Amino acid sequence: MTVADIATAGPKAKSVEWNWLPTVPIASSPLFTWPPNPVMVFKWFAASWFAVSAQTVVLALATISWLFLQPALERCVTFEAGWVAQMFARNLGLMVLYAGGLHLYFYTLGKQGDASKYDPRGMETDSRRFTFGNQVWDNMFWTCVSGVTFWTAYEAMFMWAFANDYIAILDWRENTVWFAVLFLLIPVWESSYFFFVHRLLHWKPLYDLAHAVHHRNSSTGPWSGISMHPIEHAIYLGSAIIFLVLPAHPVHVFYIFQWMTLAPAGSHSGYQHLLIGGKSRVRLGSFHHQLHHRYFECNYGTAEVHFDEWAGSFHDGTPEATRRLRESRRQGFTS
């Protein structure tokens, strides 16, 4: 897909609402359609795993983290500042590399201009809504100070549990198929967990206390991904508790945490595609979630699982869906 293709891939917005749109209506994954369509399911997974994508990039980073950047498990038998600090430094470095790199490319250097950029607005630099009055600095503060800290704390607890044999380490040589399949299932599980905790975070008392920090970003950028209140970080990153009961390898633990922390930098980047050499190299953005940041009371989950369709909160990106949402707001049907 070239720059020209990107410019015409979706209908150009006729108002200030959108700079660029993908083809609408958008659809969720074919994983839970009925009757089942194995061909479409295969194509869905192939698009993510047989190309450069958020899934494959995060898998590579998780593998590198375990093989080369993780303190030996023998050191993790007891909690010590040294090895925990080493993990924090690694995670902070990954976040700066991933989110900072995308921000540098899209916003600081402007390498892509507005090609495939959803929102016509840029990052806010003079707003009292944000810490320091600056959207990017606000996002970096909550991401690095709170987000990376909670991410590291959760990972350190898992490494301590592995080191003390409280959690058995899955032997990938004896369980090769399950080892591989688990990587496919992690985004599906995380999508399910995310829908329910995200819906909870929109409960007004919890929204006002915590989730409002993330929703300062109606127009998002790479640093918006996990710019959250500490309470939300504690809840959001709890998705990894599945590995307290599900056999897994430390690489799976690194993968799920990096999927929850690094991948949102891409899905919140504000751009659908990363263009290199005039062609689409990586599909980054999620218009499904961009719609949530714009309209709030829709698309609480992700495209992997159909919870929003089942719950009646799905916005497919069409003007008709926007009108229905606004009408339900006027009638007081949304929360």
For the segment 272-318, what is each residue's pLDDT rounded down to a tens digit?
A: 999 887 777 788 899 999 999 999 999 999 999 999 999 999 999 99
All structural domains of the chain with their residue ranges: 3-330
Residue 1 reports pLDDT greater than 70: no
pLDDT confidence of residue 282: 86
Residue 11 reports pLDDT greater than 80: no
Q: 50, 106, 139: which is closest to 272 by C-alpha?
A: 106
Residue 14 reports pLDDT greater than 80: no
User: What CA–CA distance (Å, rounded) separates 56 from 47?
Assistant: 11
pLDDT confidence of residue 330: 84
User: What CA–CA distance (Å, rounded) separates 75 from 63?
Assistant: 19
pLDDT confidence of residue 276: 83
pLDDT confidence of residue 333: 55
Residue 3 reports pLDDT greater than 50: no
Instruction: Give 229-285 pLDDT, tens digit per residue.
Output: 999 999 999 999 999 999 999 999 999 999 999 999 999 999 999 988 777 778 889
Residue 120 reports pLDDT greater than 80: yes
Does this model's pTM top 0.75? yes
- 46-65: average pLDDT: 95
pLDDT confidence bin for 192, thresholds 50/70/90: very high
Instruction: Give 144-167 pLDDT, tens digit per residue.
Output: 999 999 999 999 999 999 999 999
pLDDT confidence of residue 277: 79
Instruction: Give 217-229 pLDDT, tens digit per residue.
Output: 999 999 999 999 9
DSSP states of 182-234: HHHHHHHHHHHHHHHHHHHHTSHHHHHHTGGGGGG-SS--GGGTT---HHHHH
pLDDT confidence of residue 293: 96
- Across all residues in the chain, what is the average pLDDT? 93
pLDDT confidence bin for 15, thresholds 50/70/90: very low
Q: What percent of the chain has pLDDT over 90?
A: 88
Q: 26, 31, 7, 32: which is closest to 288 by C-alpha?
A: 26
Residue 103 reports pLDDT greater than 60: yes
Q: How far is CA 103 from CA 23, 111, 113, 148, 178, in A?
A: 25, 10, 12, 18, 36
pLDDT confidence of residue 283: 85
Residue 10 reports pLDDT greater than 90: no
